[in-house]
C-alpha cells in the first residue's frame, strides 16, 4: 500500500458511509442509533475523529506533539464523551455538514505527506512506533465500518 492506495481506501469507505446516510432523513438522524447516541451524534463523532487526524498530522509536520497523551482528558473515551456532550444539541444538518467538511480537510492534510511520512513506523516518535496510516485508518475508514451498521438501522 502507498499513499495513493490509502487515500483511495479512505475515499471509498467514506463514500459508502455518505451513501448510507444520504437516505437517512434528518428526523431519523434524531433517533437513537447506538446506546444513547443518535444518528447525528455519530456523524459529529466521526467528524471529530477526522479533525483528530488533521490535528495530529499538522502538529507532527510542524515538529510538535499534538497533545499530551498522558493527560486523562486525552483518552479515546474522554474524547468521545466530550465530543458527544459538545455536539448533543447540534441539528442534523450541522452534523451532516461537519462530517463532509471535516473529511475534505482530512484529504487536504494528507496531500503533502510522503509515503515515508504515512507508512514508516519510526517516522513520528509521538505515535509510539505505529505508522501514521494506522491512526488515519482508525479515524476514518475503520471507524466508518464500525458505525455504518448503526446508521443503516435508522
pLDDT tens for 79-134 read 999 999 999 999 999 999 999 999 999 999 999 999 999 999 999 999 999 999 99
Q: pLDDT value at position 28?
A: 97
Q: Say how far apart CA 142 and CA 135 lie, in whole Å.
A: 10
- Domains of the chain and any CATH numbers: 3-152 (1.20.120.450)
Residue owning grid cell 488533521: 54
CA dihedral in degrees (112, 117, 118, 124; nearest 10)? -130
pLDDT digits (tens, 9 = 90+) for 46-91: 999 999 999 999 999 999 999 999 999 999 999 999 999 999 999 9
Q: pLDDT value at position 113?
A: 98
Phi-psi region of 34 (alpha: psi -120 to 50; beta: other; left: phi over 0): beta
8 Å CB contact between 131 and 1: no
Average pLDDT for the chain: 97
Q: What's the pTM?
A: 0.96
Q: Say how far apart CA 95 and CA 118 lie, in whole Å.
A: 28
Amino acid at each position: 500500500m502507498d499513499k495513493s492506495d490509502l487515500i483511495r481506501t479512505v475515499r471509498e469507505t467514506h463514500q459508502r458511509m455518505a451513501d448510507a446516510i444520504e437516505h437517512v432523513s434528518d428526523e431519523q438522524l434524531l433517533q437513537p442509533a447506538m446506546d444513547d447516541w443518535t444518528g447525528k451524534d455519530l456523524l459529529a463523532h466521526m467528524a471529530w475523529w477526522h479533525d483528530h487526524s488533521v490535528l495530529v498530522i499538522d502538529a507532527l509536520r510542524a515538529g510538535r506533539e499534538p497533545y499530551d497523551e498522558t493527560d486523562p482528558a486525552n483518552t479515546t473515551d474522554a474524547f468521545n464523551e466530550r465530543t458527544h456532550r459538545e455536539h448533543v444539541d447540534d441539528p442534523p444538518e450541522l452534523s451532516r455538514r461537519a462530517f463532509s467538511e471535516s473529511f475534505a480537510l482530512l484529504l487536504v492534510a494528507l496531500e503533502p505527506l510522503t509515503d515515508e511520512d504515512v507508512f514508516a513506523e519510526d517516522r513520528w516518535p509521538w505515535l509510539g512506533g505505529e505508522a501514521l496510516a494506522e491512526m488515519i485508518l482508525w479515524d476514518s475508514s475503520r471507524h466508518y465500518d464500525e458505525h455504518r451498521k448503526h446508521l443503516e438501522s435508522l
